[in-house]
Structure 1
Amino acid sequence: MPLYESTLIARPDISGQQVEGLSEQFQEIVRDKGGDVAKTEYWGLRSLTYRIKKNRKGHYLHMQIDAPADAIAEMERNMRINEDVMRYLTIRVDALDPEPSAIMQSKASRDGRGRGEYRSRGSERQGESSSPPAEAAAGGSDAKETDSGGGGDSGAAKE
């Protein structure tokens, strides 16, 4: 069966539970037509780049689907009818990626950051800032030696 990825944006004024209900509704349609939803990711309530139907935010839902074309057509027909779905896009792919999508990976890395990591990063900066002046001092003495070796009055006084 062909493989698809489908992403939809739902209205911001519905709850997370209602978004899960939408997900279940579309998964059921795919299963009834002989397909399978391999993975579903809820990306959360995100800001939109531009307004869609007078909304600045939307709930993002991403699905990886292994289903025949008529199942996808029926799912998209229901997305068009449903008033909670503002936009959707379904594309055909060669293979389904078992790993989390790039959005979920970046979200996980942001969730992992805490105040402790920020503090440790700041202490590294302090350690780095103390070592360059030592190098600069060593570099500065080398610069003086090369300057004095260039001739001139100060060079004559050393000889």
Structure 2
Amino acid sequence: MERRSNGMNKYESIFIINPELGEEKRKEVIDKIKAVITSSGGNLLGLDEWGVRRLAYPVKGCEEGYYCFLNLEAIPAVIESLERNYRTIEEIIKYLSVRIEERKPKPKKIKPKRYRPRIKQEYGNRRYESRRYERR
């Protein structure tokens, strides 16, 4: 596990809000989550609102949910605080946070070169050619 020089890791977090809420209440919930991240010392790198989508199965009596996707940089304590707030806010019906590991490119496999010695055959001044015979 590799950490950055500032001790922060990159995380992705997604939470689903009850779709029956009004626009104002939804913005309030999103602003509250943003405030939790910044007040705890995390950096919000991006927020993407995906809108209302159908859930795979009913969650807390809801067939649909308003999806919000966060991209953030934080220490693990910030994520614990964020998930604690996800649990306490009643309007959030589901959430998931994962740490993003930076992938290093795989080293290319070096193929060993084949060594084929060349065989030189001298036949004097004559040129030998192969002839193809046609079938009848």
The TM-score with structure 2 as length reference comes to 0.66
Which of 11, 25, 30 does residue 37 from structure 2 map onto?
30
Any gaps of 5 or more consecutive residues in structure 2?
1-7, 103-136
Whichever structure has more strand as a proportion of its residues is: 2
Give the match for residue 101 of structure 1. none
Structure with the higher helix share, 1 or 2: 1
Match of 1:94 in 2: 101
Would you say 1:7 and 2:14 are equivalent positions? yes
1:58 and 1:17 mapped to 2: Cα distance? 16
Match of 2:55 in 1: 48
Amino acid in structure 2 at the alignment position of 1:92: R
TM-score, length-scaled by structure 1: 0.57
Q: In structure 1, give the amino acid aligned to 2:18.
A: R
State the 1:16 CA deviation.
Answer: 3.1
RMSD: 1.1
Over the matched positions of the two proteins, sequence identity in percent amounts to 27
Deviation at 1:49, TM superposition (A): 1.2
| Matching of residues 41-120 of structure 1 within 5 Å | 41-94=48-101
In the TM superposition, residue 23 of structure 1 has moved relative to its aligned partner by 1.6
Q: CA deviation at 1:22?
A: 1.6
In structure 1, the gaps of 5 or more residues are 96-159
1:67 and 1:18 map into 2 onto residues whose CA distance is: 26
Larger Rg: 2
Partners of 1:18 and 1:38 lie apart in 2 by 23
The one-character-per-residue Cα deviations of 1:75-110 (angstroms, maximum 9, x if unpaired) are 110110111000000000035xxxxxxxxxxxxxxx
C-alpha displacement of 1:12: 1.4
